[in-house]
Amino acid sequence: MTGEPRKLIFFENQFTEWIGSQRMSVIHDKLIDFFVRNNFSYSDESLNTLALTILIIVKRAANNHLLEENLKQDLKITNLAEYPLIYNLLNCLKDDFKHNFSSNEIFLITSIFIGLGFGLKNSMHFSQEFKLKVADLINSVGRALEIDFISDERLFHNLELHLYQLIYRAKSNFQIKNPLLKDIRNKYPSLFAVVWLFVNQFIEEYNIKITLDEVAFITLHFQTSLDRSIQTINALIVCPNGIGTSAYVKAQISKFFPNISAHLANTRDLDIMTLDNFDFILSTVSLKKNYKLPVLEVSTLINFNELKQISELYVRSLYRKYAIQDLYINQQQDVMYINHLIGQNIFQGNFKSYLDILNFLIGKANENGFIEKGFRESVLKREKLMSTYLSGKTALPHGNPSLVKKSFLIALVLSKDTDWQGKMVNVVLLLGIKSSDVSHSQKLMSFLMDKINENENKDLRNYLFQLKEVKLNAKCFF
């Protein structure tokens, strides 16, 4: 947002005494001038964050607390085209603050500048290596959900910019809160879980830590892509009164609902037609037979109340057809796949720490010949970068797919809650998915998200206990 300068209200009560009103006034005027001259848009929050970062660095330096970490060596995504901009900005501030900004300080401020989204333009050129990693993430999520995301150029471009910002935020230990995190997890549980699974693989390449807030932002990019790909809703108009009347009804539908593709039929054709490609039926007469599709009786001259009902049918059809949260496992063959993935590997026990749990589960995977050398290290590295706590007292540690010989899922049901990096768990599932089996990931993640909620995993524990009993009985029988 550019235009009329605004005061840094965020600072007035909290930081005036510590930083000084004069310095706040200087940073306010210089930043506004900097943004306007360079034609940058900005929000109050991003302006405050950048200003506060600069002021804290200056204050710390005045107390001999200097940045020692060599950030320049760690930020290698691009050639940092934004660095000269920030250098010039800080050069203008050095006399006012009586502080010469070091290269480490400039790189930290630059990385936060990028992380806040300043300076990112559609014409930016990313390295080929970075582009390939973004494409791999999109392809992996698409394969897991069996959805063609890779052809969506807009998704690719938006994720390029977002992930570029994310990396710089993470490198500078700057975190942002996503106020929609809970809503996104609840509304799109399957998509969120699949994105979470493969984002782990992406961040491993850059050795950065990210939060679930970031995962939720990335999930929204994929959901937005799905929303853009929504096809036309197909409605069947049943009218027994001839072509002229039918065409008039269709013309009204097309006028008020251009995204509804209306098709005509008479009552005689209706019983012999295949209705699989239609989303609902609009009929000018009462239909005696029951159909699987929603049916709405309308007038030849459609009135206002009927338009409202058609609108509701349209929205419901979109939701049924494209809401990713409805991708839960509902076929016996999918449940059988999960059962096969687990096999006999359901254990009960009690451990002191999450590392003890990981050592136990990885040991079982090794005993069964499921993994290659280095799998344990890849699991621990991912756990270090982002906790694999999923939800509802359940953790899902997993390793690099290239180090998996055979896809597997090993379950451990704990006798009491155990700390998992700040979260309490009583079910831990060690997952190994071969690269060639990525397309099955959605089955697993949908199944898990269907069995757990934000606070508990009672359904998952019952499923594991029942499956274990079935396996034991089958083993005893044979």
Q: Show me where the domains of the chain are located.
A: 9-115, 128-228, 233-325, 332-477
Q: Tell me the pLDDT band of 327, cut-offs 50, 70 and 90.
A: very low
Model pLDDT, residue 7:
40
Residue 36 vs residue 293, higher pLDDT: 293
Which residue in this structure is represented by tokens 């699989």?
276
* Class of 9-115 in CATH: mainly alpha
232 has a pLDDT exceeding 90: no
Q: How much is the average pLDDT of 175-180?
A: 79
- The 3-state DSSP class for residue 409 equals strand
Residue 334's pLDDT is 63
Examine domains 9-115 and 128-228 and report if their fold is the same. yes
Separation of alpha carbons 248 and 41, rounded Å: 49
**Are the C-beta atoms of residues 430 and 383 closer than 8 Å to each other?**
no
Round to whole Å and give the CA distance between 99 and 80: 23
The label of the residue with tokens 């509304």 reads: 187
Is 425's pLDDT higher than 80? yes
Most confident of 85-89, 287-291, 330-334, 422-426: 422-426
Give the ranges where 116-152 is alpha helix by DSSP (H).
128-145
**pLDDT band (50, 70, 90) for residue 451:** confident
Beta bridge partners of 419: 424
Would the pLDDT of 3 be above 50? no
Cα–Cα distance for residue pair 331/447, rounded to 1 Å: 11
Split at pLDDT 50, 70, 90, the class of 280 is: very high
What number is the average pLDDT over the span 240-255? Answer: 81
Most confident of 108-112, 254-258, 334-338: 254-258
Round to whole Å and give the CA distance between 378 and 201.
10
Amino acid at 282: L
Burial string for 359-394 (b: 16+ CB within 10 Å, else e) reads ebbbebbeeeebbeeebbebbbebbebbbbbbbbbb
The CA distances from residue 374 to 12, 14, 362, in Å, are 53, 49, 11
As a whole number of angstroms, the distance between CA 87 and CA 64 comes to 22
Check whether 367 has a pLDDT greater than 90: yes
pLDDT at 59: 82
SS (H, E, C) 320-387: HHHCHHHCCCCCHHHHHHHHHHHCCCEEEECCCCHHHHHHHHHHHHHHCCCECCCHHHHHHHHHHHCC
The first and second tokens of residue 251, run together, are 């013309």
> If you average pLDDT over residues 444-457, what whole number do you get?
77
Higher pLDDT, 447 or 310: 310
Confidence at 326, pLDDT banded by 50, 70, 90: very low
Task: Mention the CATH class of domain 128-228.
Answer: mainly alpha
The answer to whether the CB of 138 falls within 8 A of the CB of 153 is: no
pLDDT in tens, 115-128: 776 655 544 567 88
* pLDDT given for residue 203 in this prediction: 87
For residue 281, the 8-state DSSP code is E
* Confidence at residue 341, expressed as pLDDT on a 0 to 100 scale: 83
**Average pLDDT rounded to a whole number, residues 406-433:** 92
Sign of CA dihedral 75, 77, 83, 85: negative
Cβ neighbours of residue 242 closer than 8 Å, sequence gap 6 or more: none
pLDDT, residue 436, reads 83
Q: What is the pLDDT of residue 82?
A: 57
Structure tokens at 387: 């906790």
Give, as one character, the DSSP assignment of residue 404: B
Q: Which strand (E) or helix (H) includes residue 24?
A: helix 21-37
pLDDT value of residue 4: 41
CATH architecture designation of domain 332-477:
3-Layer(aba) Sandwich (3.40)
pLDDT at position 329 over 50: no
Identify the residue with better confidence: 439 or 392. Answer: 392
What architecture is domain 233-325?
3-Layer(aba) Sandwich (3.40)
Q: Tell me how far apart the alpha carbons of residues 325 and 361 are, in angstroms, rounded to a whole number.
A: 30
Q: Given this model, what pLDDT does residue 426 score?
A: 93
Instruction: Evaluate if residue 84 carries a pLDDT over 80.
Output: no
- The pLDDT score that the predictor gives to residue 373 is 92
Look at residue 315 and tell me whether its pLDDT is greater than 50.
yes
User: What is the maximal distance between C-alpha atoms in the chain?
Assistant: 88
The pair phi, psi for residue 433, each rounded to 5°, is -115, 120
Residue 463, C-beta contacts closer than 8 angstroms, at least 6 positions apart: 451
